[in-house]
Amino acid sequence: MRLRRTLKTAALVAAVLLGALAWWLWRDPYRVVLADYARQRAVAGLTRNAAQVGDHRWVYAYNDEAPPGAPTVVMVHGFTGSKENWYPLAQRLRGRYRLFAPDLPGWGESERKAGADYGFLAQSERVARFIQQVAHQPGSELVLLGHSMGGGIVALSAARHPQDVDRVGLFDAAGVRFQDNAFGLAVLRGRNPFAVFDAASLRRYLDIVFYDDAAKPYIPWPASRIYIDRRKRDAAFEQAVLDKIGRSEERFLPGSQAARIRQPVLLLWCRQDAVIDPSALELYAAQLPQAQRALLDGCGHMSIVERPAAAADAVNRLIAKGQAR
């Protein structure tokens, strides 16, 4: 009799917990995706935090388990990306440097404001303020890394705020007029080649940004459906940002301003990048004669996910051996 009552109590508790979980997910299904992001963050050894910087609330992942005076590495994601893109690289840099991977304002978990400017120039100023308020530590070199759109943002931050940035890494960076490819031509026609609105477009999106099939993320149902719904809701925002960074008067501003960068620089691309053609590496290099170059093979636009070990080695060389102009 006692065993039967215990089993009934356990079943009741389980039912209550399942009901609470169902209600929690019904209120915000995207929590399924966020839960997996939390798992990835734990594997990378990072902690989540938030800060009010200027007029936006930023959410970022960080790890400060580094030797005293160790360099601080700030990693800025690209278009449709988020802080999670940097986790594979961060895992390989952890313990050696202080690490910060923020969601840019407007993206990921950070705040988005209706009508705000999220182009290259506005975001570069926000990144500078994030460094000054959150990441800066006296006696620690500041290494600023940017991927894709984030690369263009980082180039502007380093050029316009040299007192805040000691070393610069541009990974598959936007902001120059690279050799025509299908992605670039679509952007010039006013389309968003990254748009996701169903399962087929999600597969197409992953095929564009990844070359190495083994590195493509597996997104099972229902997470895939929840992710697709989120991207559909973000479609107008994505298009507005892409118009700003890909078709407006500031689309090549990072490349032209890069000539002002005197700090040590790393330029890292993948040979099979179908988004920012590898010709962009040489265009940036023409403005940055001091730059170390790394052209990786067998990977696409997501170098930091597809080849994180090689990217980590390149960052280590930048910090150990990079030369200023």
Q: What is the pLDDT of residue 37?
A: 83
Distance between CA atoms of 292 and 321, rounded to whole angstroms?
9
Three-state DSSP at 174 gives coil
Instruction: Using the predicted structure, report yes or no on whether residue 295 has a pLDDT greater than 50.
Output: yes
Q: For 111-149, how does the pLDDT look when each residue is reduced to its tens digit (9 = 90+)?
A: 999 999 999 999 999 999 999 999 999 999 999 999 999
Determine the distance from the C-alpha atom of residue 54 to the mean position of all C-alpha atoms in its chain, rounded to a whole number: 20
Give burial (CB, 10 Å; 0-12/13-18/19+) of 323. exposed
Q: For 312-325, how does the pLDDT look when each residue is reduced to its tens digit (9 = 90+)?
A: 999 999 999 999 99
Say which amino acid occupies 6.
T
Q: What is the pLDDT of residue 15?
A: 47
9 CB-near residues (< 8 Å, 6+ apart): none
Q: For 252-286, how does the pLDDT look when each residue is reduced to its tens digit (9 = 90+)?
A: 999 999 999 999 999 999 999 999 999 999 999 99
64-111-209 Cα angle (round to 5) = 75
Q: How far is CA 113 from CA 56, 57, 118, in A?
A: 8, 10, 10
Q: For 178-195, how does the pLDDT look when each residue is reduced to its tens digit (9 = 90+)?
A: 999 999 999 999 999 999
Instruction: Using alpha carbons, select from 168, 170, 173, 172 the residue that is nearest to residue 323.
Output: 168
Q: How many helices (H) and strands (E) does the chain have?
A: 13, 8
Q: What is the pLDDT of residue 222?
A: 86
What backbone phi and psi angles, to 5 degrees, belong to 178? -75, 170
The single-letter DSSP state of residue 263 is S
What is the model's pTM? 0.91
Q: What is the pLDDT of residue 313?
A: 98
